[in-house]
Amino acid sequence: MFAFFWLMLLFYSSLVTTQDLSHDYVLQGKNIIILAGQSNMSGRGGVINNKWDGFVPLECHRNSSILRLSAGLTWEEAEEPLHRDIDVVRTCGVGPGMAFANSVLAKDPSLGVIGLVPCAIGGTNISEWRRGSVLYNKLIQRANAALQGGGIIRALLWYQGESDTVIHKDAELYKGRLDRFFDDLRSDLMSPILPVIQVALASGKGPFIEIIRKAQLETNLQNVKCVDAKGLPLEPDELHLTTLAQVELGKMLADAFLQTVPLPVQSNAPKRFNNFILDFLREPFW
Ligand SMILES: *[C@@H]1O[C@H](CO)[C@@H](O)[C@H](O)[C@H]1NC(C)=O
Ligand SMILES: *[C@@H]1O[C@H](CO)[C@@H](O)[C@H](O)[C@H]1NC(C)=O
Ligand SMILES: *[C@@H]1O[C@H](CO)[C@@H](O)[C@H](O)[C@H]1NC(C)=O
């Protein structure tokens, strides 16, 4: 009886150890992050006259622990520009996604693999993201595809609103439309308190920027956070964040995201359990 128990324990430990070392196992615990909104999320850092300068700061470098879901719905190692095959009408440059992922990894390596799901499209207004729209359906489809190989959707990073600053009525309706979008998304992703981290616009092409900012900063939905882009430098077009501004924004989003991550991190649980068994076996009782 004792020997049997002992064997079972050894078997279990070896099982967990092998799984722990396998890449598949780590992938199954992927932290899936959805990126959506307009051009600043898609990334225009380093884009001047419709050409990207190709500059990738250290904070945005590739890392084997950062993946990206391509337009063809396959996972690949992520690299800038993250939205190159998603937001295809304009030239993409650096957005906040890679800086976000690198910063999260640096601050909490125990999280494991980060799977980025780029979905942002430049110039889009909030109505174009409503439930049932092309963009909404595409987002849901990509999110579901992302879950196929295992993992958990950890957050939506949302940077949008510029297109809704032009007409007064749209600006007034923004808060309701935004809340509705978050609610619908959470319900369709079956994740009722999915963390949402959004960016408050610093300026806009339209006169009603303050109404939009107020809607973004004063959202009262649970687990919706807002970081403020005010003060971050813009490209000479005065319309898009620069590469270095995107790096800063990525770090701000990472800090806000890490506040939403429950501890202990789920992807680490089997390892901790394994250690627990080993500690248990070392007890004087045995
Ligand atoms: C990947 O990120 C981790 C955590 O920041 C870091 O320790 C590691 O050196 C990085 N790997 C590469 C190849 O940059
Ligand atoms: C949003 O964009 C669509 C497509 O460009 C346009 O038809 C619609 O009028 C816009 N709506 C708002 C509220 O700006
Ligand atoms: C990009 O973000 C900056 C900073 O928030 C904002 O001023 C600008 O209007 C945004 N541009 C677009 C096209 O969303």
Higher model confidence: residue 263 or residue 166?
Answer: 166
The amino acid sitting at 212 is I
pLDDT tens by residue, 218-254: 988 999 999 999 999 999 988 999 999 999 999 999 9
Q: Structure tokens of 237?
A: 């077009």
Tell me how far the alpha carbon of residue 177 lies from the centroid of ligand 2, in angstroms.
13
Q: What pLDDT does residue 203 have?
A: 78
Q: What pLDDT does residue 261 have?
A: 74
Whether residue 263 has pLDDT greater than 80: no
**Is the CB of 254 within 6 Å of ligand 1?**
no
Tell me how far the alpha carbon of residue 61 lies from the centroid of ligand 1, in angstroms.
9
Residues 218, 210: Cα–Cα separation, whole Å: 12
Q: Which of 20, 53, 183, 237 is catalytic?
A: 237
Phi, psi for 155 (deg, rounded to 5): -170, 160
Sequence-distant (6+) residues with CB within 8 A of 197 are 155, 156, 157, 158, 224, 225, 226, 227, 253, 256, 257, 260
Q: Which CATH fold topology does 28-257 show? A: Rossmann fold (3.40.50)
pTM metric for this prediction: 0.85
Sequence-distant (6+) residues with CB within 8 A of 146 are 30, 32, 34, 69, 115, 117, 153
Q: Map residue 77 onto helix, strand or coil.
A: strand
Partners of 115 in the β-ladder: 32, 67
Q: What pLDDT does residue 207 have?
A: 87
Taking only Cα atoms into account, the Rg of the chain, rounded to an integer number of angstroms, comes to 21
Sequence-distant (6+) residues with CB within 8 A of 265 are 108, 110, 111, 112
Tell me how far the alpha carbon of residue 248 lies from the centroid of ligand 3, in angstroms.
14
Higher model confidence: residue 84 or residue 283?
Answer: 84
Q: What average pLDDT is seen over the chain? A: 87
Residues 174, 130: Cα–Cα separation, whole Å: 12
pLDDT tens by residue, 171-195: 999 999 999 999 999 999 999 999 9
Q: Map residue 283 onto helix, strand or coil.
A: coil
